[in-house]
Amino acid sequence: MNYRVGIFLLCCGIVAVACKTNKVSVNSSWRAVRASTSTSNSADKCFLTVHDKAGLSYIYNPQLFKGDWLAHLGKTLCWDFLVLHDGGLNEPIAPRLVIYSGDPMNPTAAAVFTASNNTAMKGQWVHVCAPIERCSGNQLPSNAQGDWTMKSGATANDWERLLQQVSGIRFVVDVTSAPTEVFGFDNIQIR
Protein backbone atom coordinates (compact mmCIF):
# COMPACT_ATOMS: atom_id res chain seq x y z
CA MET A 1 0.00 0.00 0.00
CA ASN A 2 1.37 3.43 -0.92
CA TYR A 3 0.52 6.47 1.15
CA ARG A 4 0.98 9.96 -0.24
CA VAL A 5 0.35 13.28 1.41
CA GLY A 6 -0.59 16.34 -0.62
CA ILE A 7 -1.96 19.79 0.22
CA PHE A 8 -2.85 20.56 3.83
CA LEU A 9 -5.19 22.98 5.61
CA LEU A 10 -5.23 23.71 9.33
CA CYS A 11 -8.51 23.25 11.17
CA CYS A 12 -8.79 22.98 14.95
CA GLY A 13 -5.17 21.82 15.36
CA ILE A 14 -5.55 18.99 12.86
CA VAL A 15 -4.04 19.24 9.41
CA ALA A 16 -6.17 17.54 6.77
CA VAL A 17 -5.45 16.79 3.15
CA ALA A 18 -7.54 19.05 0.95
CA CYS A 19 -6.86 17.85 -2.58
CA LYS A 20 -5.71 14.98 -4.74
CA THR A 21 -2.03 14.47 -5.42
CA ASN A 22 -0.98 13.13 -8.78
CA LYS A 23 -1.28 9.55 -7.45
CA VAL A 24 -4.04 9.28 -4.85
CA SER A 25 -6.45 11.26 -2.70
CA VAL A 26 -5.78 10.63 0.98
CA ASN A 27 -7.85 11.67 3.97
CA SER A 28 -5.36 12.11 6.78
CA SER A 29 -4.69 14.15 9.86
CA TRP A 30 -1.51 15.74 11.12
CA ARG A 31 -1.28 17.23 14.59
CA ALA A 32 1.14 19.89 15.74
CA VAL A 33 2.74 20.08 19.20
CA ARG A 34 4.26 23.49 20.01
CA ALA A 35 4.20 24.26 16.30
CA SER A 36 1.81 25.73 13.76
CA THR A 37 1.10 24.60 10.23
CA SER A 38 -0.04 26.14 6.97
CA THR A 39 -0.21 25.33 3.29
CA SER A 40 2.47 26.70 0.99
CA ASN A 41 2.28 26.83 -2.78
CA SER A 42 5.07 27.36 -5.23
CA ALA A 43 5.05 27.18 -9.01
CA ASP A 44 5.60 23.42 -9.02
CA LYS A 45 4.67 22.21 -5.53
CA CYS A 46 2.11 22.55 -2.77
CA PHE A 47 3.25 21.32 0.64
CA LEU A 48 2.84 21.38 4.41
CA THR A 49 4.72 24.22 6.11
CA VAL A 50 5.53 23.83 9.82
CA HIS A 51 6.52 26.77 12.05
CA ASP A 52 8.41 26.04 15.27
CA LYS A 53 7.20 27.52 18.58
CA ALA A 54 8.84 27.55 22.03
CA GLY A 55 9.64 24.12 23.53
CA LEU A 56 10.17 20.73 21.87
CA SER A 57 8.17 21.01 18.64
CA TYR A 58 6.99 18.35 16.22
CA ILE A 59 4.15 17.23 13.99
CA TYR A 60 2.73 13.73 14.11
CA ASN A 61 0.25 11.54 12.33
CA PRO A 62 -1.44 8.83 14.43
CA GLN A 63 -3.57 7.48 11.58
CA LEU A 64 -1.93 7.21 8.17
CA PHE A 65 1.10 5.14 9.14
CA LYS A 66 -0.33 3.11 12.03
CA GLY A 67 -0.03 -0.67 11.97
CA ASP A 68 2.25 -3.65 11.58
CA TRP A 69 5.23 -2.46 9.54
CA LEU A 70 6.52 -6.01 9.13
CA ALA A 71 4.09 -6.03 6.18
CA HIS A 72 6.31 -3.32 4.63
CA LEU A 73 9.68 -5.08 5.00
CA GLY A 74 11.92 -4.26 2.06
CA LYS A 75 10.18 -0.94 1.48
CA THR A 76 11.08 2.58 2.57
CA LEU A 77 9.29 5.50 4.22
CA CYS A 78 10.15 8.49 2.04
CA TRP A 79 9.49 12.20 2.25
CA ASP A 80 10.63 15.51 0.80
CA PHE A 81 12.09 18.06 3.21
CA LEU A 82 12.68 21.80 2.79
CA VAL A 83 14.35 24.31 5.12
CA LEU A 84 12.59 27.67 4.80
CA HIS A 85 14.18 29.22 7.90
CA ASP A 86 16.89 27.48 9.92
CA GLY A 87 16.48 29.38 13.20
CA GLY A 88 19.83 31.09 12.70
CA LEU A 89 21.77 27.82 12.59
CA ASN A 90 23.34 28.67 9.20
CA GLU A 91 24.47 25.12 8.51
CA PRO A 92 22.93 21.99 6.99
CA ILE A 93 20.11 20.34 8.92
CA ALA A 94 19.66 16.57 8.98
CA PRO A 95 15.99 15.66 8.47
CA ARG A 96 14.68 13.44 11.29
CA LEU A 97 11.72 11.10 11.45
CA VAL A 98 10.42 9.26 14.53
CA ILE A 99 8.27 6.14 14.54
CA TYR A 100 6.61 5.39 17.85
CA SER A 101 4.39 2.94 19.69
CA GLY A 102 1.87 4.18 22.25
CA ASP A 103 1.17 7.83 22.99
CA PRO A 104 3.05 10.21 20.67
CA MET A 105 3.98 12.49 23.57
CA ASN A 106 5.14 9.67 25.85
CA PRO A 107 5.72 6.59 23.67
CA THR A 108 6.40 3.14 25.06
CA ALA A 109 8.94 2.64 22.25
CA ALA A 110 10.40 4.91 19.58
CA ALA A 111 13.12 4.98 16.95
CA VAL A 112 14.63 7.96 15.14
CA PHE A 113 15.81 7.98 11.54
CA THR A 114 18.40 10.71 11.01
CA ALA A 115 19.45 11.49 7.47
CA SER A 116 23.19 11.60 6.97
CA ASN A 117 23.93 12.60 3.41
CA ASN A 118 20.62 14.26 2.62
CA THR A 119 20.94 17.39 4.70
CA ALA A 120 19.17 20.49 3.47
CA MET A 121 20.39 24.03 3.09
CA LYS A 122 17.87 26.85 3.13
CA GLY A 123 15.68 26.75 0.03
CA GLN A 124 16.67 23.30 -1.28
CA TRP A 125 14.33 20.30 -1.27
CA VAL A 126 15.86 16.94 -0.39
CA HIS A 127 14.28 13.51 -0.80
CA VAL A 128 14.87 11.13 2.11
CA CYS A 129 14.04 7.41 2.35
CA ALA A 130 14.27 5.42 5.61
CA PRO A 131 14.56 1.63 5.20
CA ILE A 132 11.95 -0.66 6.73
CA GLU A 133 13.98 -3.76 7.52
CA ARG A 134 14.77 -6.20 10.30
CA CYS A 135 17.97 -5.75 12.28
CA SER A 136 21.19 -7.28 11.05
CA GLY A 137 22.40 -8.87 14.27
CA ASN A 138 21.98 -6.06 16.80
CA GLN A 139 22.42 -3.33 14.16
CA LEU A 140 19.32 -1.32 13.34
CA PRO A 141 18.63 -0.80 9.63
CA SER A 142 20.49 1.88 7.71
CA ASN A 143 21.10 2.90 4.14
CA ALA A 144 23.19 5.45 2.25
CA GLN A 145 20.77 8.19 3.38
CA GLY A 146 20.94 7.63 7.14
CA ASP A 147 20.25 5.26 9.99
CA TRP A 148 17.78 4.31 12.67
CA THR A 149 18.60 4.62 16.38
CA MET A 150 16.75 3.66 19.54
CA LYS A 151 17.46 4.56 23.16
CA SER A 152 20.57 3.06 24.70
CA GLY A 153 20.12 -0.56 25.69
CA ALA A 154 17.43 -1.30 23.10
CA THR A 155 17.79 -4.65 21.33
CA ALA A 156 16.85 -6.15 17.98
CA ASN A 157 13.76 -7.58 19.72
CA ASP A 158 12.71 -4.06 20.79
CA TRP A 159 12.99 -2.91 17.15
CA GLU A 160 10.93 -5.89 15.97
CA ARG A 161 8.20 -5.18 18.55
CA LEU A 162 8.13 -1.51 17.54
CA LEU A 163 7.73 -2.44 13.86
CA GLN A 164 4.80 -4.70 14.77
CA GLN A 165 3.04 -1.92 16.71
CA VAL A 166 3.73 1.41 15.01
CA SER A 167 1.21 3.94 16.34
CA GLY A 168 2.33 6.77 14.09
CA ILE A 169 5.17 8.94 12.82
CA ARG A 170 6.58 12.27 14.00
CA PHE A 171 8.75 14.87 12.33
CA VAL A 172 10.98 16.88 14.64
CA VAL A 173 10.89 20.61 13.80
CA ASP A 174 13.00 21.95 16.66
CA VAL A 175 16.71 22.15 15.84
CA THR A 176 17.80 25.31 17.70
CA SER A 177 16.78 27.06 20.89
CA ALA A 178 15.26 29.88 18.81
CA PRO A 179 11.58 29.13 18.06
CA THR A 180 11.88 30.44 14.50
CA GLU A 181 12.52 27.36 12.35
CA VAL A 182 10.20 26.83 9.37
CA PHE A 183 10.23 23.59 7.37
CA GLY A 184 8.33 22.13 4.42
CA PHE A 185 7.20 18.50 4.13
CA ASP A 186 5.73 16.76 1.09
CA ASN A 187 5.29 13.36 -0.58
CA ILE A 188 5.30 11.35 2.65
CA GLN A 189 4.78 7.73 1.68
CA ILE A 190 5.71 4.09 2.21
CA ARG A 191 6.85 2.59 -1.05
pLDDT digits (tens, 9 = 90+) for 27-75: 357 888 898 777 776 666 788 888 888 888 889 999 889 999 999 999 9
Kindly report, residue by residue over 157-180, the tens digit of the pLDDT.
Answer: 999 999 999 999 999 887 777 788
Q: How far apart are CA 130 and CA 2, in angstroms?
A: 15
pLDDT in tens, 72-109: 999 999 999 988 887 878 878 889 999 999 999 899 99
Q: Give residue 140's pLDDT.
A: 94
pTM comes to 0.81
What pLDDT does residue 151 have?
A: 84
Give the pLDDT score at 117. 67
Q: Which of 71, 81, 84 is nearest to 166 (CA)?
A: 71
Structural domains of the chain in order of their starting residue, each with its CATH number: 8-190 (2.60.120)
What confidence score (pLDDT) does residue 56 get? 86
| Residue-level pLDDT at 58 | 87
How far apart CA 144 and CA 131 sit, in angstroms, is 10
The per-residue pLDDT for 174 is: 78
**pLDDT tens, position by position, 138-156:** 899 999 999 999 987 788 8
Chain centroid to Cα 83, Å, comes to: 14
pLDDT greater than 50 at residue 15: no
Share of the chain above pLDDT 70, in %: 81
